[in-house]
Amino acid sequence: MTADLNESLRLFRLIIPAFPEVNVFTRMAKKTTALGPVMVATCANKVWGWRAEVIDENNYRGPRNVQGLPDHEVLQRENPAQAVGFYTGLSSTIERVWELAGLYKRMKVPTIAGGWHAHYLPEETLSHNVDIVVHGDGEEAIAQILPVLLNKELLSLVGGISFIQDQKMTTTYFKENKVSDIGLLPYPDFNLVRYARIKVYPISRIRGCSRNCEFCSVKGEPRFSTSRHLFNIVQWLNDTRRAKNFFIVDDRLEEDLKGTLEFFEMISKEYGDSFNFQVQIRLEAAENNRLLEAMKKAGVRFVSIGAESPIDEDLKSMRKGYLSSKMVEWVAMIKRYFWVHLMFIAGYPLKGKKCELSPKEIVKRFKKFIRRARPNSIQVLLPGPGAGTDLRKRLEAQARIFPQDIVPWRYYDGNYVCFIPDGMTTRELQGIPAKIMRWFYWRPFRLLHFLFRTFIIFPIDFFLRGKELSVKSLIREKLCYEAYGLIKKWIERFRKSDFMGKLEEYQQKKLS
């Protein structure tokens, strides 16, 4: 009966595209999924006459093609979709979206794209076999689009979308779709994610960010649901899926401090610290002891912090809202409670002046800060002038962005130089993050060091310092071992590529 009913319903397949190569997100992506597409699919699944599924290409255990990627021809044969959606939250994956949109277009399937990249670059997206671009939140928009998908006249009544009509782009009475009350949205249905193994569940109650960092595409006045709403989601996921590990994907927990405190206090009262939460906060949160205590009691164990840079000139150009003077102190305060993962951007293009520091001095300044702050783990990326960011607008105005035929979107993952630097060569800028990361994660005789720490030092450490501290040290050693190996492989692959040669050849032609 259920199978017959499913066959009578039209299928909306929402695809989270694969990363173009191994990067800082890969390890985590195999354990979790993107929340936005799951929310959109959950709402699509409630549209009369439709059912929905999510294919996360980064967390996928289904049929694959000869390239090792999900085989969408097989998926379409076994379970034909009548509409396909694409998540374009990362510019680095947009070329995979174009590839898949072309495949489904050849199979006569209408295609829809949503996410930051498509939102900011709708014409580019529509020129690559995408039929409809959704601007802003997709939950309410998809419920309006699916019933009128093939009728352009009725489609024009849906607000905040773009499509091609009479050979030109039409954007309906432009408004960015924004869910007015996030608390009225359904709970995310992770059962819709096919062929995936989810160990860490993404959850959220805050959208938008009141900060105005130049390099970030997340804009807009924050909107948030109640603390009770997020608590109910956690409770429901624990009851229905035995979920224990959660990643709160909100850009800043502190946007609604009162609600955040209420949520963690509700969790600790009901569950103690039996859950494992990962969160993102700003460094200034170190000043709020009540928040840190509430997070700790509720089971927050891992915090990601966008420290960005220890160099004041960088922080000013980024519009971070603070300088470096208290950063070491803030990290130390937060580290007393949690595993601290610091995220950096090295070689940031300064506003209004050239960088006066040499690449060697930049590396030295980062190392000095890291030695003093002693984070548990780090990632160092290059500045990424992504679609819709003020950084991209500034660099475009200065004609410093490499053209797409030289540096296409797939290189916009933070590992590659995407613009012409000031005060140093392109090759020098490219090398900065790897130098810092290799230094941080390097261990002498790497494998022997890891085995020694695991089988000799750990039992002694466990006896002397107890479970929590000894396990944290062991995890860090394992992370260092794996991270250094990943960095080494990436560098070897990069050196074999012609990426730098293409950039330098382009610059020489431009100068001649």
- The DSSP line for 338-404 is SEEEEEEE-SPPPSSS---S-HHHHHHHHHHHHHHH--SEEEEE-----TT-HHHHHHHHTT-BPPT
Expressed in percent and rounded to 5, the helix, strand and coil fractions of the chain are: 50, 15, 35
Pick from 327, 328, 336: nearest CA to 296: 336
Q: Which amino acid is at 357?
A: L
Strands (DSSP E) along 42-110, which ranges?
Answer: 50-56, 83-87
Domain 2-171 has CATH 2.40.30.20: no
Q: What CATH number labels 200-387?
A: 3.80.30.20
Where residue 166 falls (left for φ over 0; alpha for ψ -120 to 50; beta otherwise) is left
Check: CB of residue 366 under 8 Å from CB of residue 436. yes
228-242 pLDDT tens trace: 999 999 999 999 999
**CATH 3.40.50.2300 segments of the chain:** 2-171
Q: Which amino acid is at 55?
A: I
Highest mean pLDDT among 254-258, 259-263, 459-463: 259-263
132-141 pLDDT tens trace: 999 999 999 9
**CATH 3.80.30.20 segments of the chain:** 200-387
Residues 6 or more apart whose Cβ sits within 8 Å of residue 397: none
CA distance 419 to 407: 9
pLDDT given at position 446: 61
Residue 463 above 80 pLDDT?
Answer: no
Give the DSSP H or E segment for 304: strand 300-308
413-440 pLDDT tens trace: 999 999 999 989 999 999 999 999 999 9
Per the model's pLDDT, the better-predicted residue between 297 and 455 turns out to be 297
pLDDT given at position 2: 47
Q: Encode burial over 63-97: b for 16+ CB neighbours within 10 A, e otherwise.
A: eeeeeeebbbeebbeeeebbbbbbbbbbbbbbbbb
For residue 511, name the pLDDT band (cuts at 50, 70, 90): confident
